[in-house]
Structure 1
Amino acid sequence: MDNGVSAGSTASTSTLGNLALGLTLLAFGIGQTGIVGGVSAADSVSLATYVGGLALFVLGLLEYRGGNGFNGTAFAGLGAFWFTWAHGADAKVSANAAGLFLLLFALLALTLTLGAPGGLFGQGAYALLTLSLVLLAVGTLADSGGLGKAAGWVAAVSGLMAWYGATAALANWPTALGRASGGRSAAAAG
């Protein structure tokens, strides 16, 4: 193994964590919107369990080990959310309990929004996740399918932002609008 490359480097685990979060949000969001016939949010349970839940949680622990407290908190906390959501999807819980669960994790997402590194793909993805969870919680409490669909669209856009941010980091694509110093657009930091 090359001495310059660590098996648990924060760049690789951060990128993989953002990909896992993005794909899980996309699957959940698309299912929640009902835009694809015969596909619902419940169809994303396996992905939410293993990719959004277990993998994201483990990546969070690796981020902590690598010294990245923000990504450790984000990935482990959201991994716990997705794992719990996936295992509770079949449970018979009241709308009030489900709404409260979503509101509590919206608080986690809000904390992540406020603590995220600046920029569209840092704070933006977490801000949209927060909005999605709040809309879904209110929709669940008020028994409003329209709010649930709106939450799905917001979650899908949040997932696209997380996916693009991770892909940009791998491909050295721009992640900032406008120009950086020297007239060149800024590229994603790996």
Structure 2
Amino acid sequence: MDNDVAAGSTTTTTLGHLALGLTLLAFGLGRTEVIDGVTAADAVSLATYVGGVALFAAGLLALRERDAFTGTAFSGLGALWFTWGVGADAQVSDNAAGLFLLLFALVALSLTAGAPAAAPLTRGVYALLFVAMLLLAVAAFGDSEGLAKTGGWFAAAGGLVAWYAGTAALAHWPTAMPGRAAGRGVTATG
């Protein structure tokens, strides 16, 4: 592989968005319990291997391609999903689960704050992930099933946005709304 690869490989970013999207969608829908008999625990294998291993590998590839933000995001989130997946069967207190989710939220907040140069869809994914994990953390601390379901909906929405970002890159779909002129008599240049 050539060491002079330009930063921000579309293939790596697409793989990462698809992995994150599917994991978040499965986890979020499981938290909402909107599908009868499906819970977040049913997303453990997907979170471990797709959200954990595949996302972590995509992060390492992005780092190798000198894309520091994407590499940090995907490898960090991959490590967190893998940790959640392998520890899902462990008996932990609600406070310990809440602390893990709060730490997960802080990583998502860092990614949201560090993403101003990223595509709007990417910023949206990390912002939705932050809100989801924060709500889930508060729900774990306060034993609130309603708040946990709300956090699940935010996670599912983030998963859909991440999935769309990955699919849009593959299918060459639009990822931004077309711009409008600022007002009467204004012309666009370029």
CA distance in 1, matches of 2:108, 2:164: 19
* CA deviations over 1:7-39 (Å, ceiling 9, x no partner): xx8211110000000000000011110000010
What is the aligned partner in structure 2 of residue 29 from structure 1? 28
- In structure 1, how many angstroms separate the alpha carbons of the residues matched to 2:104 and 2:36? 29
1:136-175 alignment runs, 5 A limit: 136-175=136-175
Deviation string for 1:67-97 (max 9, x for gaps)?
Answer: 1001101100000110011111111111111
- Partner in structure 1 of residue 89 of structure 2: 90
Q: Where do 4+ consecutive residues of structure 1 move more than 4 Å?
A: 180-183
- Please name the residue that 1:65 is paired with: 64
**AA in 1 matched with 2:130:** T
Structure 2-normalised TM-score?
0.88
Matches within 5 A, 1:104-143: 104-116=103-115, 117-143=117-143
TM-score (norm 1): 0.88
Q: Which moved more, 1:69-78 or 1:114-123?
A: 114-123
After superposition, give the CA deviation of every residue in 1:149-190 in whole Å (9 maximum; x if it has no partner).
00110000000000111111111111112337998xxxxxxx
1:168 match: secondary structure:
helix
| CA pair 140-45 structure 1, distance change in 2 beyond 3 A | same
Amino acid aligned to 1:137: A
**Number of residue pairs the alignment of both structures matches:** 179
After superposition, the Cα gap between the structure-2 partners of 1:119 and 1:61, relative to the gap in structure 1 and judged at 3 Å, is closer
* d(CA) in 2 for partners of 1:174, 1:180: 16
Three-state SS of the structure 2 residue aligned to 1:122 is: helix
- 2: CA distance between counterparts of 1:120 and 1:154? 17
Give the structure 2 partner of residue 74 of structure 1: 73
Q: Percent identity?
A: 60
Structure 1 counterpart of 2:18, one-letter code:
L
Q: Which whole-Å CA distance do the structure 2 matches of 1:59 and 1:132 have between them?
A: 23
Q: Distance in 2 between matches of 1:69 and 1:108?
A: 15
CA distance in 1: counterparts of 2:164 and 2:98, whole angstroms:
29
Match of 1:102 in 2: 101
- Superposed CA RMSD in Å reads 2.1
C-alpha displacement of 1:118:
4.4
Counterpart Cα distance in 1 of 2:95 and 2:33: 23
CA distance in 2, matches of 1:63, 1:11: 10
Structure 1's unaligned 5+ residue stretches are 184-190
- Give 1:14's aligned amino acid: T
Q: 2-side partners of 1:118 and 1:55: how far apart?
A: 21
Find out whether 1:177 has 2:177 as its counterpart.
yes
Q: 1:120, 1:67 → 2: CA distance?
A: 21
CA distance in 1: counterparts of 2:120 and 2:135, whole angstroms = 21
- 1:120 Cα shift? 3.1
